[in-house]
Chain A
């Protein structure tokens, strides 16, 4: 059973992701703020985190930096969703945080593939270039 935590402040996106990624062998936990996500990660030890960057309160990057500073979660696969969509930010985030960056709006099928392959391999994979 794979466990995914989804974190975004936009309820429609969170709900959509839940439908998009749902599968019998997955448990999807939805959270609407960075703080909530950290609490759930602590409790549920997920296999993958999908997190938005721009959120009120604790931002996605703060969540990630907290996770990477903790030995228990430093290798946890993370997919960053960002509406900022600046290429420089994306490559830098990939290098620094060892996480995959997906710019909003994304192709739903591509995200699904990415999630599937990440869960199979258990590590972050750089997305295939188009």
Chain B
């Protein structure tokens, strides 16, 4: 991130006042902010609705960075306020130092002060706060807390004075009935009691604090301390320890997360290695087996073999040797493409001659196989920025593949033309064809295959993977359209010169950043390829599917964060698809529907997070995935809303969806019970009318969920019975009017946090 050197003075002033010191990343800057702290950001402090809540992702040099749904132009103003002083939150003006797109949205870095001080270790003199607006009201946090020593002195003084007072009273013979000895004993006893009491009272806070600190340290030691709130300390020394511990925790968290990512990366690499070994060994062993077998038969020189058979054997041996050589070439080529050693040299070029020469090269082979190889390519094509050698490798691979999978007598057709802002190449054959479920598969490198896939991919070779890698490095897309038994058409679309070239981050980076895993599914192979490419460019780890069956296969393998799919699939109707998505085992992904059909509300009721009506722009697509991702990370509640004529259920669902919850709609309470069971519901939202007329069912609902279900009752008219619902079911009752659904989200949020506290206790 772009650090702003030096210290922002206003911030600093506040931090010094509060004795907040941060030590992140080895810096010794003063700041009041901590990692993970929730703050509010706005682009216009005069409009309350313009603000949004963010949590701080990075703190450095006094500036902060946070993830945001919205993009902010660099150097634009952003106001941030926190709630450290609960009563007087104040907007603090900053300017956007950087804004980068990342997995979690836009990472916005905010610098609070453009004025920098050369010496960043010493607090500069306080010279800010001259104007009314900028005036900063310091909170004398340190002044309020007594030190431990002072407290001890106070306690001792109180105890001693009390004992002296009691002794004095007793010595005055106010109670003549008591003997002198007894009076003495009482005096000593009461002095001891007072002393003990004072000591106990004064050390109570400290003891509690130390117990809490002990638990926190234990938590950290066992690696489970996922959140930490600065503990309230009873005295100044412990307050300092508490803050220091907060810093220690933040640093530990940072390191812990780094290690977690590292571990994940290593595991992935190990898996990749295993897969490569397994498939490479299979692909090497198969031709070797043939070669060994045929050579040994030839060496035996068996008499029952005819000369023609011997020739045939030699032919097979040659073919298998070539196959081995090709495999080794391909492996080396993949290795080259993936290492940064080979950079693709892009120059403006006309690809027409390249394509023509590729076709010419394959002509003799096609003739010997009795196939027709034709091409239609204009004399010159509009220029593209490309490496002609690499593109010729692409065309070669595609033609070789087409010839390989087309039976003798078939035909292969190569074409190139301008289409819009792209150059579209295609290689069409009338060969065996590829089933829809495999359309994405054939482009995969075997190291990306999961164990389940290994057996299916083996033998496919690396040709198409090489094609995809080259095309993607040119900012283009590639896809296949095919029908089993009729043939296949392989397409490559390259952006024309002058069009922006968007290339995905390199694969080695991909392994590290691939934390957001998306499955893009569309029956239209071109659209699927475009969506995949767009998301890849933005750093998402994307898998593609072209049929509902394949999509569900991807989901079965798990490890999917977001699904983006069309609802009209050739192999499943929309209702079945939605049901299958909802009942997918261990469902933790978020769903985006991208289709011509339907409306957001209708889908929202059926567990869909975002509905994109076609056609959508790149930005809309990225936003949708980011929203879905954000919801996934918020880990909201699962809420069932029961329909009622007095309630705008669609709106309720939408508001709750926006707050990061999973919502579903039930026609009546029995249906709600079913949904609760099926999706492990947390909260049911229903109108008071429905609640009153379904008391028995509601009890069932709560009992069925293991008494964890909570109710939110929307009261339509104020009645005494509402209170009864509150008492009987522990329901939260809100008076409801159409258009004020936001309140429901607030109530749900507070229910959730209460629940979390209960669980902690």
Contact = CB atoms under 8 A, between A and B. Distances in A.
Interface of A: 10, 12-13, 15-17, 19-20, 22, 54-56, 59, 81, 83-85, 103-109
A57 B684 CA distance: 46
A84 B305 contact: no
Contact of B290 (A10, A56, A84, A85): A10
Q: Which 6 A-B pairs have the closest CB atoms?
A: A83-B285, A16-B293, A105-B288, A105-B289, A104-B289, A108-B296
B285 A54 contact: no
12 contacts: A10-B286, A16-B316, A17-B293, A19-B297, A56-B456, A83-B286, A85-B281, A103-B285, A104-B288, A105-B289, A105-B292, A108-B292
Nearest to A56: B456
Contact of A16 (B278, B285, B297, B319): B297
B285 A104 contact: yes
Contacts of B262: none
A84 B454 CA distance: 11
Contacts of B456: 56
A17 B316 CA distance: 13
B-side interface mostly: helix
B545 to A, nearest CB: 19
Nearest to A19: B297
Contacts of A20: 293, 296-297
B314 to A, nearest CB: 13
Interface of B: 278, 281-282, 285-286, 288-294, 296-297, 304-305, 309, 316, 319-320, 455-456, 458
A12 B278 CA distance: 21
Contacts of A81: 289
B297 A13 contact: no
A84 B282 contact: yes
A54 B294 contact: no
B553 to A, nearest CB: 15
Contacts of A108: 292-293, 296-297
Given A54-B455, A59-B455, A109-B296, A16 B290 contact: yes
A84 B278 contact: yes
B285 A105 contact: yes
B317 to A, nearest CB: 9
A85 B458 CA distance: 14
A107 B292 contact: yes
Contacts of A109: 296
Contacts of A83: 281-282, 285-286, 289
Nearest to A17: B293
A108 B285 CA distance: 14
Given A12-B316, A56-B456, A106 B289 contact: yes
B290 A12 contact: yes
A58 to B, nearest CB: 11
Contacts of A85: 281, 285
Contacts of A17: 293
